[in-house]
Chain A
Amino acid sequence: AQSVAQPEDQVNVAEGNPLTVKCTYSVSGNPYLFWYVQYPNRGLQFLLKYITGDNLVKGSYGFEAEFNKSQTSFHLKKPSALVSDSALYFCAVRDSLGSARQLTFGSGTQLTVLP
């Protein structure tokens, strides 16, 4: 079975400081990992994904994520946070093995960037 955990419901960071939103996963095979962002009253928007290759993945709006197989983690990072980055962030995973054709989403982390 595939699962994903976002251990922090809420992350607060000052504008201009680096931010990290944590994600850990569990799969039987290799993971396909995604980050999505949700702004108020909107649907989810794709940020970045890891399928294979370099462990550091760069995505939209200056975000990046680091795949760490030994720690089964895929943390989202940004060197300098903006107030406009405040939103709800979701990590998602799919196992390369098994019959599941859909993603499993984490419970979400609310990021607040303080001016």
Chain B
Amino acid sequence: NAGVTQTPKFRVLKTGQSMTLLCAQDMNHEYMYWYRQDPGMGLRLIHYSVGEGTTAKGEVPDGYNVSRLKKQNFLLGLESAAPSQTSVYFCASSYGPGGRTEAFFGQGTRLTVV
């Protein structure tokens, strides 16, 4: 039972570098989400997708891009990393809209930008 798998689990980037975080789910969920978690701020939605080929902006989308070319994968890209993007990133998926059905979360990616 893999559920939601995030790759990598840890990463250190230098300012200005780029990277892609991969999220894969094996539950055939339509909805997928990328959140960032910062101390005292809870989880904030970066981008989300309501199905293959679709993406939409969340609460804090600036500096990030996403793609959902396959239903099971949701990629989060940082084109030019900044120290303000140091955070823990969580991917989640749900069968229906994130308000009637529960979401399943990955274990997180701890990103440090120096």
Residues of chain A whose beta carbon lies under 8 Å from any beta carbon of chain B:
9, 32, 34, 36, 41-46, 49, 51, 90, 94-96, 100-103, 105-108
Minimum CB–CB distance from A37 to chain B (whole Å) comes to 11
Known: A32-B100, A102-B45. A43 touches B40 (CB 8 A): no
**B42:A102 contact, CB within 8 angstroms:** no
Known: A101-B97, A107-B40, A107-B41. A43 touches B58 (CB 8 A): no
**A103:B4 contact, CB within 8 angstroms:** no
Known: A9-B40, A43-B107. A102 touches B100 (CB 8 A): no
**A46:B103 contact, CB within 8 angstroms:** yes
Complex interface: chain A residues within 8 A of B90 (CB): 43-44
Q: List 10 A-B contacts (CB under 8 A).
A: A44-B90, A44-B92, A45-B105, A90-B42, A101-B99, A102-B33, A103-B98, A103-B99, A103-B103, A105-B43
Summed over the interface, the residue pairs from A and B with CB atoms below 8 Å come to a total of: 63
Of residues 21 to 46 in B, which have CB atoms within 8 Å of A's CB atoms?
31, 33, 35, 40-45
Complex interface: chain A residues within 8 A of B31 (CB): 101
**A43:B106 contact, CB within 8 angstroms:** yes
**A102:B99 contact, CB within 8 angstroms:** yes
Is residue B102 within 8 Å, beta carbon to beta carbon, of the partner chain? yes
Alpha-carbon separation in the docked complex, A98 to B56 (Å): 16
Complex interface: chain A residues within 8 A of B45 (CB): 102-103
